[in-house]
Amino acid sequence: MALYLLADVGSTWTKLTAVDDTGSVVARASAPTTVSTDIMQGFNAALSEVRTQAGKKEDKIYACSSAAGGLAMIACGLVPELTGQAAKLAVLGAGAKVLRVYGYNLNRDDIKEIESLRPDILLLAGGTDGGNTRFLLENAQALAAKVKPLPVVLAGSRNAVHEAAEILEAAGFSVEITGNVMPELNKLDIEPARGSIRNLFLRHIVRAKGMETLSRSLAAPLIPTPAAVLAAGKLLAQEIGQLLMVDVGGATTDVYSYGGVEVPTGMMRKGLEPPWDMRTVEADIGMRYSLSSLVEQAGLENILAQAPQEEQWRQELEKILASPGRLVSPGLEGLEMNLARAAVRISLLRHAGTVERIYSPTGAVDVLTGKDLRAIKTVIGIGGVMVNSPEPRGILAMGNEGLLPENPRLMLDSKYIMAAAGLLAGDQPRLASRMLADSLATL
């Protein structure tokens, strides 16, 4: 019987899951990630543990990583709502973290900021095919003149990418030319850019992050962890239909949707056509490191609403804000739940599109921007906050607000299997879906 080993090299823990070829999890182990010395130390520690548990050696290893800062990128477009947004969606869709998005010409402050942020990869877009070429070329020039070489994905107007590549290559940048993220106005095409980001990640970033040895032992390319989660959701959506997943973390809340792109009859779409599989990341919405901005967005009074003893919750909140490592005190889980609920609500509303009703003497017209998630039937919660909550349903259940799903079935990734299953989604989709079925619990 074959044994597959699925590794998630996280920022703090390296987690290994072994599954057999029926899709059952036969062993799990984790060890602290050892990014400061050699990533293999922590990996090997977890590996020997998992082999002992499984009683045999694995046949194939697959891995994803978010260690050493994950894949951190900068996106540049021309008009922020157009190629700027398209570039951002491409970067998020590749599983990367977006450090910044710039529009129009990069000025000296932007260049300085890029130099100090030192992204792993920069995605440079701008202009439709046959459209504007000036901004892409000028931005390539500005980068070439003032920024130390870095890997660049060129995903702008096809009439300028080759010239931009020459400018950057002459300055020592490694460049991959790819399809335009917005070949025609409001038409998104982010798949080619995602592919190129994966290529540059493997060619340049894996080594820089000390993961070359690990990478060589793998049956498939190492990918960023969010890319594995995206793949798991995609597989699931192909089986059960349109779905929405939300992962509430300490620093960010990630939302993944599959579907919600059709324009309902009687509505009219304006702006960019959203991608079928879309990932957004709310960097100011999280349970610990982004707690103060979460509370600010949600409103303190809403967080403290229904508190049996408001003062007690208020004090607890202050303690958590002061030391983000802190676990919520026993008996006050309701506070944690309210915070998580707010994180889910805010992040889903930002992920969803909006409808604006325009009245005319002959009746109303509904103008849709972004995704209409109302017809989505399944919402899945991911992450420790929900798995450890006594009442995950209370975190995920939303009112029928805006364009959020209407009365969906709520599910929980009860065994933290998303990333691991995503690693097998390409090579062994049958096993991956069994792993998912086994972990997903209807709430």
Partner 1 sequence: MATIVLGVIGSDVHAIGNRILEYAFTEAGFKVINLGVLTTQKEFVQAAIETDAGAILVSSLYGHGEIDCRGLREMCIEAGIGDILLYVGGNLVVGKQKWEPVRDKFLAMGFDRVFPPGTMPDEAIALLKQDLGVS
208 binds partner 1 (CB under 8 A): no
Which of left, alpha, beta for 177 (phi over 0: left; psi -120 to 50: alpha)?
Answer: beta
Question: What does the alpha-carbon distance between residue 305 and residue 300 come to, in Å, rounded to a whole number?
Answer: 8
User: Comparing C-alpha atoms, which of 106, 167, 115, 113 is closest to residue 141?
Assistant: 167
Q: Is 367 in the site for partner 1 (CB under 8 A)?
A: yes
Site for partner 1 in 153-182 (CB under 8 A): 182
Between the CA of residue 316 and those of 147, 323, 324, 333, what are the distances in Å?
Answer: 45, 11, 12, 11
Interacting span for partner 1 (CB under 8 A) from 27-35, 291-299, 356-364, 383-391: 356-364
Q: Is 270 in the site for partner 1 (CB under 8 A)?
A: yes
> Does 79 help bind partner 1 (rule: CB under 8 A)?
yes
For partner 1, which is the closer residue by CB, 367 or 441?
Answer: 367
Helix (H) or strand (E) holding 305: none
Residue 81 binds which entry of ligand B12, partner 1, none, CB below 5-8 Å type-dependent: partner 1
CB of 362 to ligand B12, least distance (A): 4
How many residues bind ligand B12 (CB under 6 A)? The answer is 3
Distance in Å, CB of 366 to ligand B12, minimum: 13
Binding residue for partner 1 (CB under 8 A) from 5, 67, 78, 335?
78
Token pair in block for residue 157: 């107007």
Buried b (16+ CB within 10 A) or exposed e, 82-110: bbbbbbbbbbbbbbbbbbbbbbbebeeeb
Buried b (16+ CB within 10 A) or exposed e, 351-364: bbbebeeeeeeeee
Which residue from 103, 31, 116, 109 is spatially nearest to 67, judged by alpha carbons? 31
For tokens 């000025």, the residue is 107
Q: Which of 315, 365, 384, 407 binds partner 1 (CB under 8 A)?
A: 365
What is the distance between the alpha carbons of residues 224 and 420, in angstroms, rounded to a whole number? 12
CA distance 318 to 73: 33
Position of minimal CB gap to ligand B12? 360
Residue 432 CB contacts under 8 Å (≥ 6 apart), including other chains? 23, 232, 235, 421, 422, 423, 424, 425
User: Binding-site residue total for partner 1 (CB under 8 A)?
Assistant: 25
Of 323 and 362, CB closest to ligand B12:
362
Calpha distance 133→354 (Å, rounded): 31
132 binds partner 1 (CB under 8 A): yes
By CB under 6 A, tell whether 390 contacts ligand B12: no
Q: Tokens 């570039």 identify what position? A: 87
Taking CB under 8 A as the criterion, the residue among 127, 226, 286, 381 binding partner 1 is 127
Q: Does 265 bind ligand B12 (CB under 6 A)?
A: no
Q: Check if the beta carbon of residue 396 is closer than 8 Å to that of residue 414.
A: no
d(CA 229, CA 244): 12
CB of 190 to partner 1, least distance (A): 16
Q: Work out how close the CB of 365 gets to ligand B12 at its nearest, in angstroms, rounded to a whole number.
A: 7
By the rule CB under 6 A, 399 interacts with ligand B12 = no
Is residue 91 within a helix (H) or strand (E), and if so which, with residue range? Answer: helix 85-93
The single residue among 42, 93, 131, 179 that binds partner 1, judged by CB under 8 A, is 131
In angstroms, give the least distance from the CB of 96 to partner 1: 23
- For residues 279 and 226, the answer to whether their CB atoms sit within 8 Å is yes
83 counts as binding partner 1 under rule CB under 8 A = yes
With contacts defined by CB under 8 A, name the span among 32-40, 45-53, 75-83, 170-178 that binds partner 1. 75-83
**Min. distance of Cβ 81 from ligand B12 in angstroms?**
24
323 to 352: interface string for ligand B12, x by CB under 6 A: ------------------------------
Residue numbers 351-380 binding ligand B12 by CB under 6 A: 360-362
Give me the residues that bind partner 1 (CB under 8 A), please: 78-79, 81-83, 126-128, 130-134, 182, 184-185, 268, 270-271, 358-360, 362, 365, 367
Instruction: Give me the residues that bind ligand B12 (CB under 6 A), please.
Output: 360-362
